[in-house]
Protein backbone atom coordinates (compact mmCIF):
# COMPACT_ATOMS: atom_id res chain seq x y z
CA UNK A 1 0.00 0.00 0.00
CA UNK A 2 1.48 3.32 -0.99
CA UNK A 3 1.75 6.36 1.27
CA UNK A 4 -1.15 8.23 -0.37
CA UNK A 5 -3.56 5.34 0.03
CA UNK A 6 -2.37 4.84 3.60
CA UNK A 7 -3.05 8.51 4.41
CA UNK A 8 -6.56 8.24 2.96
CA UNK A 9 -7.18 5.05 4.94
CA UNK A 10 -6.01 6.70 8.17
CA UNK A 11 -8.27 9.70 7.61
CA UNK A 12 -11.34 7.57 6.81
CA UNK A 13 -10.75 5.19 9.72
CA UNK A 14 -10.01 8.08 12.06
CA UNK A 15 -13.30 9.76 11.16
CA UNK A 16 -15.30 6.54 11.38
CA UNK A 17 -13.79 5.46 14.72
CA UNK A 18 -14.05 9.00 16.11
CA UNK A 19 -17.70 9.23 15.09
CA UNK A 20 -18.41 5.82 16.64
CA UNK A 21 -16.74 6.88 19.90
CA UNK A 22 -18.71 10.13 19.95
CA UNK A 23 -21.97 8.26 19.31
CA UNK A 24 -21.19 5.76 22.05
CA UNK A 25 -20.28 8.48 24.52
CA UNK A 26 -23.34 10.59 23.68
CA UNK A 27 -25.66 7.65 24.34
CA UNK A 28 -24.29 6.93 27.82
CA UNK A 29 -25.25 8.46 31.16
CA UNK A 30 -23.06 11.45 31.92
CA UNK A 31 -24.72 12.62 35.11
CA UNK A 32 -27.30 11.55 37.66
CA UNK A 33 -29.26 14.31 39.35
CA UNK A 34 -30.54 13.42 42.80
CA UNK A 35 -33.55 15.27 44.16
CA UNK A 36 -34.55 14.76 47.78
CA UNK A 37 -38.29 14.61 48.41
CA UNK A 38 -40.65 13.73 51.19
CA UNK A 39 -41.83 10.17 51.68
CA UNK A 40 -42.88 7.76 50.13
CA UNK A 41 -40.20 8.14 47.45
CA UNK A 42 -37.46 9.92 49.38
CA UNK A 43 -34.98 10.20 46.50
CA UNK A 44 -35.63 10.90 42.85
CA UNK A 45 -32.78 10.03 40.48
CA UNK A 46 -32.77 11.63 37.05
CA UNK A 47 -30.18 10.30 34.63
CA UNK A 48 -29.00 12.48 31.76
CA UNK A 49 -27.10 11.21 28.74
CA UNK A 50 -24.61 13.15 26.70
CA UNK A 51 -27.26 13.69 24.04
CA UNK A 52 -29.66 15.21 26.52
CA UNK A 53 -26.98 17.52 27.92
CA UNK A 54 -25.49 18.47 24.54
CA UNK A 55 -28.19 17.77 21.92
CA UNK A 56 -25.97 18.37 18.91
CA UNK A 57 -23.46 15.61 19.75
CA UNK A 58 -25.37 12.79 18.08
CA UNK A 59 -26.12 14.83 14.95
CA UNK A 60 -22.50 15.91 14.54
CA UNK A 61 -21.25 12.36 15.08
CA UNK A 62 -23.64 11.06 12.41
CA UNK A 63 -22.50 13.77 9.98
CA UNK A 64 -18.89 12.80 10.68
CA UNK A 65 -19.70 9.14 10.03
CA UNK A 66 -21.25 10.08 6.70
CA UNK A 67 -18.24 12.28 6.01
CA UNK A 68 -15.92 9.28 6.41
CA UNK A 69 -17.75 7.59 3.55
CA UNK A 70 -17.82 10.80 1.55
CA UNK A 71 -14.02 10.99 1.72
CA UNK A 72 -13.93 7.79 -0.29
CA UNK A 73 -16.54 8.84 -2.83
CA UNK A 74 -15.32 12.36 -3.60
CA UNK A 75 -12.19 13.94 -5.02
CA UNK A 76 -10.68 17.35 -5.61
CA UNK A 77 -12.48 20.37 -4.18
CA UNK A 78 -15.45 18.30 -3.04
CA UNK A 79 -13.16 16.17 -0.87
CA UNK A 80 -11.61 19.33 0.59
CA UNK A 81 -15.09 20.64 1.37
CA UNK A 82 -15.91 17.35 3.12
CA UNK A 83 -12.72 17.89 5.12
CA UNK A 84 -13.92 21.32 6.24
CA UNK A 85 -17.25 19.82 7.33
CA UNK A 86 -15.35 17.14 9.27
CA UNK A 87 -13.20 19.80 10.95
CA UNK A 88 -16.34 21.63 12.06
CA UNK A 89 -17.95 18.40 13.29
CA UNK A 90 -14.87 17.52 15.31
CA UNK A 91 -14.76 21.00 16.78
CA UNK A 92 -18.46 20.84 17.72
CA UNK A 93 -18.11 17.46 19.44
CA UNK A 94 -15.02 18.71 21.29
CA UNK A 95 -16.89 21.81 22.48
CA UNK A 96 -19.74 19.59 23.71
CA UNK A 97 -17.41 17.44 25.79
CA UNK A 98 -15.55 20.42 27.24
CA UNK A 99 -18.82 22.24 27.97
CA UNK A 100 -20.22 19.26 29.85
CA UNK A 101 -17.09 18.94 31.96
CA UNK A 102 -17.00 22.67 32.72
CA UNK A 103 -20.65 23.45 33.43
CA UNK A 104 -22.40 20.30 34.65
CA UNK A 105 -21.94 19.38 38.30
CA UNK A 106 -21.16 15.77 39.19
CA UNK A 107 -20.55 14.67 35.62
CA UNK A 108 -18.92 11.29 35.07
CA UNK A 109 -15.74 12.44 33.32
CA UNK A 110 -15.18 9.24 31.34
CA UNK A 111 -17.88 9.70 28.72
CA UNK A 112 -17.22 13.36 27.90
CA UNK A 113 -13.51 12.56 27.63
CA UNK A 114 -14.30 9.68 25.27
CA UNK A 115 -16.40 12.07 23.17
CA UNK A 116 -13.46 14.48 23.09
CA UNK A 117 -11.11 11.69 21.94
CA UNK A 118 -13.59 10.90 19.18
CA UNK A 119 -13.71 14.60 18.30
CA UNK A 120 -9.93 14.71 17.93
CA UNK A 121 -10.00 11.68 15.62
CA UNK A 122 -12.70 13.32 13.49
CA UNK A 123 -10.72 16.55 13.46
CA UNK A 124 -7.54 14.71 12.42
CA UNK A 125 -9.32 13.10 9.47
CA UNK A 126 -10.81 16.42 8.41
CA UNK A 127 -7.47 18.19 8.69
CA UNK A 128 -5.83 15.59 6.46
CA UNK A 129 -8.64 15.93 3.92
CA UNK A 130 -8.34 19.70 3.77
CA UNK A 131 -4.58 19.82 3.27
CA UNK A 132 -3.63 16.53 1.61
CA UNK A 133 -6.68 15.23 -0.22
CA UNK A 134 -5.60 16.38 -3.68
CA UNK A 135 -2.80 13.80 -3.59
CA UNK A 136 -5.03 10.97 -2.37
CA UNK A 137 -6.29 8.36 -4.82
CA UNK A 138 -9.89 8.48 -5.97
CA UNK A 139 -12.32 5.79 -6.97
CA UNK A 140 -11.61 3.98 -10.23
CA UNK A 141 -12.94 5.15 -13.56
CA UNK A 142 -15.34 2.23 -13.76
CA UNK A 143 -17.61 4.12 -11.38
CA UNK A 144 -17.68 7.21 -13.58
CA UNK A 145 -20.34 8.01 -16.13
CA UNK A 146 -19.22 7.18 -19.67
CA UNK A 147 -17.84 10.06 -21.71
CA UNK A 148 -20.24 11.58 -24.22
CA UNK A 149 -19.77 11.24 -28.00
CA UNK A 150 -17.37 13.53 -29.83
CA UNK A 151 -19.56 14.00 -32.90
CA UNK A 152 -23.33 13.97 -33.35
CA UNK A 153 -23.05 10.99 -35.72
CA UNK A 154 -21.60 8.89 -32.87
CA UNK A 155 -24.66 9.72 -30.83
CA UNK A 156 -26.95 7.78 -33.19
CA UNK A 157 -27.53 4.11 -32.38
CA UNK A 158 -26.28 1.67 -34.98
CA UNK A 159 -28.96 -0.81 -36.10
CA UNK A 160 -28.11 -3.59 -38.50
CA UNK A 161 -31.42 -5.46 -38.27
CA UNK A 162 -32.08 -9.01 -37.15
CA UNK A 163 -29.66 -11.75 -38.08
CA UNK A 164 -30.61 -14.82 -40.12
CA UNK A 165 -30.47 -17.02 -37.04
CA UNK A 166 -32.91 -14.73 -35.19
CA UNK A 167 -35.36 -14.88 -38.08
CA UNK A 168 -34.99 -18.66 -38.30
CA UNK A 169 -35.73 -19.05 -34.59
CA UNK A 170 -38.90 -16.95 -34.80
CA UNK A 171 -40.03 -18.88 -37.87
CA UNK A 172 -39.53 -22.14 -35.98
CA UNK A 173 -41.61 -20.82 -33.10
CA UNK A 174 -44.35 -19.80 -35.55
CA UNK A 175 -44.43 -23.38 -36.86
CA UNK A 176 -44.74 -24.69 -33.26
CA UNK A 177 -41.22 -26.11 -33.14
CA UNK A 178 -38.72 -25.68 -30.32
CA UNK A 179 -35.75 -23.81 -31.85
CA UNK A 180 -33.49 -24.76 -28.95
CA UNK A 181 -33.82 -28.51 -29.55
CA UNK A 182 -31.06 -30.02 -31.54
CA UNK A 183 -32.02 -32.51 -34.23
CA UNK A 184 -33.20 -35.79 -32.60
Model-level pTM? 0.69
- The domain limits of the chain are 3-32+49-137
Work out the pLDDT band at 143, boundaries 50, 70, 90: low
Buried b (16+ CB within 10 A) or exposed e, 11-24: bbebbbbbbbbbbe
Asked, as a colleague might, if the bond just before 40 is cis with ω within 30 of 0, I would say: yes
Banded model confidence at residue 69, pLDDT cuts 50, 70, 90: very high
> Which residues are bridge partners to 43 per DSSP?
36
Per the model's pLDDT, the better-predicted residue between 163 and 77 turns out to be 77
Question: pLDDT above 70 covers what percent of the chain?
Answer: 84
- Asked whether the predicted pLDDT for residue 25 surpasses 70, the reply is yes
Residue 133's pLDDT band (boundaries 50, 70, 90)?
confident
Split at pLDDT 50, 70, 90, the class of 126 is very high
CA distance 13 to 122: 9
Amino acid sequence: MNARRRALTKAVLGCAVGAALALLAASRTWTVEITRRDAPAAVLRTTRTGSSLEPWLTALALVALAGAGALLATRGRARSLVGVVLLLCGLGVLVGGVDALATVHHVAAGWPVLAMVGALLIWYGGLGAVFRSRAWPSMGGRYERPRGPDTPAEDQPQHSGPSRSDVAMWDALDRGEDPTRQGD
